[in-house]
Structure 1
Amino acid sequence: MVKLLTGICTLLLLNGCASHSQTLYSELGGKQKVEEIVNNFVTEIEYDPVILPYFEGSDIDRFRAKLEEQICMVSGGGCSYTGDTMEQVHAGMNITETHFNHTVDLLINAMDKSGVPHPLQNRLLAELAKMRGQMLYR
């Protein structure tokens, strides 16, 4: 009986560890889902009169590619971000807290449209939020 209980406990422990070893990137759905989120985000921006002016003159294809890299990197997908620093990208934009928060709302809308569960959204947003100070008032 003790061996059976020990075996069951070991299996439960290993199963618990296995579920935590999965990266946020894979939990999100990997490359395909990240591309979907980014595409939805670009569409959200395209139809938003408040945030769209920040992207005037931007190379949207480059933005798309670099955001996909960045999300992959911060979510443990094994990618490297090859773009400019957040300070460089946002220099001269003078992004306010209000505009930053509004952009986060657009990203949440994009993730909702992609069917990303809220707990995963929160985890991704927590990773991306680490760059907040590099974007505001530049």
Structure 2
Amino acid sequence: MNIPHSPWVLAAALLLALPTAAQQAPAATPVPRAAVPAPSGLYQALGEKPGIARLMDDFVGRAFKDPRIGNHFKDTNPQALKESLTDQICQLSGGPCQYEGADMKSAHADMDITKGHFNALVEVLQAAMHAQGIPFAQQNRLLALLAPMHRDIITQR
């Protein structure tokens, strides 16, 4: 499948990789809302919390199976990861959810994530969004919110 790429794609989605809460680590202080406000209507465009939950279910299933990144999930509880990511994307997109997982730097500090892993996960997220029928413009709006987090996620430079 050939999925179109945006300039944001390669800088966006490992935020979704492995929030610490999904790895049975102690809860951290809640992450404040994104410094950049959510684009108006993004939460609704993603299908609100039920749509985001479906997207994260699809995404996590794909990520666990992907040969490029699946090994990063070996100690991860899939259901806990789905729930954590749903809350995180819900909050970032302007929804009423409260993400209570770790900040991205702490969550990914010891994971040896390379730019290649990061890019692979972005591709997996794009494939999940495409499969869920999320329009390309809405995909880009979400990826633009996630993009600033890449500096805290890639740990192997």
TM-score between the two structures when normalised by the length of structure 1: 0.80
Q: Structure 1 residue 82 and structure 2 residue 100: aligned?
A: yes
Q: Distance in 2 between matches of 1:63 and 1:128?
A: 17
Alignment match, 1:100: 118
Runs of 4+ aligned residues of structure 1 deviating over 6 Å after TM superposition are none
Which sections of structure 1, spanning at least 5 residues, go unmatched? Answer: 1-20
- Partner SS state of residue 71, structure 2: helix
Q: Structure 1 residue 45 and structure 2 residue 58: aligned?
A: no
57-66 or 115-124, larger mean C-alpha shift: 57-66
**Pairwise mapping of residues 14-93 of structure 1 onto structure 2 (< 5 A)?**
22-93=40-111
TM-score between the two structures when normalised by the length of structure 2: 0.71
- State the structure with bigger RCO (CA 8 A, min sep 6), 1 or 2: 2
Which sections of structure 2, spanning at least 5 residues, go unmatched? Answer: 1-38
Query: CA deviation digits over 1:12-48, x for unaligned, max 9?
Result: xxxxxxxxx9521112111111011101101111221
Alignment match, 1:4: none
Counting helix residues as a fraction of each chain, which structure ranks higher?
Answer: 1
Query: CA deviation digits over 1:33-80, x for unaligned, max 9?
Result: 101110110111122111110011112221111100110111111222
Q: How many residues align?
A: 118
Question: Aligned-residue CA RMSD in angstroms?
Answer: 1.4
Q: Structure 1 residue 135 and structure 2 residue 156: aligned?
A: no
Larger radius of gyration: 1
Q: Distance in 2 between matches of 1:86 and 1:62?
A: 16
Q: Distance in 2 between matches of 1:87 and 1:22?
A: 27
